[in-house]
Amino acid sequence: MTEIKLYNTKTRRKEVFAPIDPEHVRMYVCGPTVYDRAHIGNARPVIVFDVLNRLLRHVYPRVTYVRNFTDVDDKINATALARKEAGAPGTLEELVAARSDETIAWYLEDMAAVGAIEPDAMPRATEYIAQMIAMIGALIERGHAYAAEGHVLFRVRSYEEYGALSGRSVDDMIAGARVEVAPYKEDPMDFVLWKPSTDELPGWDSPWSRGRPGWHIECSAMAHDLLGEAFDIHGGGNDLTFPHHENEIAQSKCMGHGFANVWMHNEMLQVEGKKMSKSLGNFFTVRDLLDQGVPGEVIRFVFLSTHYRKPMDWTEKKRQEAEATLRKWRELVSGAGAAPVPGAILEAVADDLNTAGALAEMHRLYAAGDGAGLRAAGGLLGLLGDELGGWDAAPEVSLDALVVRFNALRAAAMESKDFSGVDAMKAALIDAGIEVRMSKAGVELEAKPGLDLAKLEALQ
């Protein structure tokens, strides 16, 4: 069996992966808060853990992959409230539900476009309120939580290992973090498990108030219900390490649950060397790129070109290079037969998801003309499959007018013996992605994959 090594944030080292049950590997990844379109940074953990999901399914007989949706949140409420104020029909609670449904559909569509396989379970937080209330009640009974003014707070100092995942002490966290100061808190670091809700906003009856859960308890309850008291892998972006994942661990461990054995975190994304932000004008969504004509497979390739634990820089140059590479690879694998995943590819991906190394191996397979091996390698990485195909085909355009112009230009050059104009037009056509074939009978033009429609339009 293939040996998989994964970097464990909890132990700060790369370890040989040893599942709790080799017949059934279980993984939980924190999903999005569904208040708007997914920006390209949101797609990074999806693609990273999609590759891990594919690897695990290649090696083990059964995998359960869970990724949640947070559909109860202040940002969702604010969007729904804005719609209600603008005259949208329905109660605020109905508008909140409609906004969640809308954004979840967008998210699944956009993530499918970048080649992500849907997880086995995609629970919504609002579907697990009863489990959250039960867990909160149990934490109160055990002395790890307390009710105060309709809220329930977790006693951080009741869990001695708090901070182990992020490597911080409680006192350091208090000194260096902005924590909510509230009169009902016993300690500044205590965090909310339950909070009151207004009459018109979404809320559920509980022993403490009509309210809703805090963010952190959601994942603990859903992971426990779907994967059991202990499971193999918990993943997400490294911005979740503290406080979200730290709080998940504290809650679950204080329930007596083993929780996750391996913690994996991907690094963040930049755009052209700068942090992505709306103020810099470099903030865009996955849908923005797709609507601009950037194929989802190209987005995926760019992401896989950088190791998941390193900061990733999205650049236009990388996009162009990825598209050119994928066009060449797709041409080679067209019609190629089936083959096992090449050993060097499997070895690279099994080494803590070294996708950049796997892509380097795929370049060598292309150079060797191994179309079947290249296709099999792509399957492990979520590339070169039929489900993402079609974008590399040449667009259907009429070149008749350009053929007439080119033939006239060529005929005039034959008379004047000055072929500089012919050479210039030929170069411009080739640069636009047009294959030019000249013979005594005349000129033939053919659009090739990668045709630049803007450059073609400039020649018309």
User: With 80 as the cut, is the pLDDT of residue 178 above it?
Assistant: no
pTM reported for the whole predicted model: 0.86
Looking at the fold, whether 255 and 138 belong to one and the same domain comes out as yes
Lowest mean pLDDT among 114-123, 175-184, 395-404: 175-184
Looking at the fold, whether 214 and 252 belong to one and the same domain comes out as yes
Per-residue pLDDT at 252: 98
- Ligand-binding annotation for 254, yes or no, is no
Amino acid at 302: V
Contact between residue 4 and residue 54 where contact means Cβ atoms under 8 Å apart: no
Looking at the fold, whether 40 and 175 belong to one and the same domain comes out as yes
Looking at the fold, whether 253 and 302 belong to one and the same domain comes out as no
Residue 440 lies in a domain: yes
- Ligand-binding annotation for 307, yes or no, is no
Per-residue pLDDT at 356: 98
Beta strands in 296-441 (DSSP E): 312-314, 434-439
Mean pLDDT of the chain: 92
**b/e map of 31-40 (b: 16 or more CB within 10 Å)?**
bbbbbbebbb
Looking at the fold, whether 221 and 285 belong to one and the same domain comes out as no
Q: What is the mean pLDDT of residues 436-451?
A: 82
User: With 70 as the cut, is the pLDDT of residue 262 above it?
Assistant: yes
Looking at the fold, whether 194 and 325 belong to one and the same domain comes out as no
Q: What is the DSSP letter of 395?
A: P
- What is the side-by-side strand order in the sheet with 211-213? 145-148, 151-154, 191-196, 211-213
User: With 60 as the cut, is the pLDDT of residue 175 above it?
Assistant: no
Contact between residue 289 and residue 111 where contact means Cβ atoms under 8 Å apart: no
pLDDT digits (tens, 9 = 90+) for 56-77: 999 999 999 999 999 988 888 8
Residue 61 lies in a domain: yes
User: With 90 as the cut, is the pLDDT of residue 233 above it?
Assistant: yes
Domain boundary among 388, 419, 450: 388
Q: What band does 40 get if pLDDT is binned at 50, 70 and 90?
A: very high
Per-residue pLDDT at 382: 98
Residue 394 lies in a domain: no
Distance between alpha carbon 242 and the CA centroid of its chain, in Å?
20
Non-local CB neighbours of 418 within 8 Å, separated by 6+ positions: none
Query: How many structural domains compose the chain?
Result: 3
Q: Which tokens sit at 310?
A: 């390193």
**181: helix, coil or strand?**
coil
User: With 70 as the cut, is the pLDDT of residue 395 above it?
Assistant: no
- Ligand-binding annotation for 219, yes or no, is yes
Residue 292 domain boundaries: 270-388
Q: What DSSP element (H or E) covers 26?
A: strand 25-29
Rounded Cα distance, 403 and 454, in Å:
18
Q: What is the mean pLDDT of residues 414-430?
A: 89
- Ligand-binding annotation for 244, yes or no, is yes
What is the signed CA dihedral for 242, 243, 244, 250, rounded to 10 degrees?
A: 100
Q: What band does 244 get if pLDDT is binned at 50, 70 and 90?
A: very high
Q: What is the mean pLDDT of residues 207-232?
A: 97
Domain boundary among 231, 266, 301: 266
Looking at the fold, whether 374 and 297 belong to one and the same domain comes out as yes
What Å distances lie between residue 386 and 115, 155, 292, 298, 312, CA to CA? Answer: 10, 52, 21, 14, 27
- Ligand-binding annotation for 278, yes or no, is yes
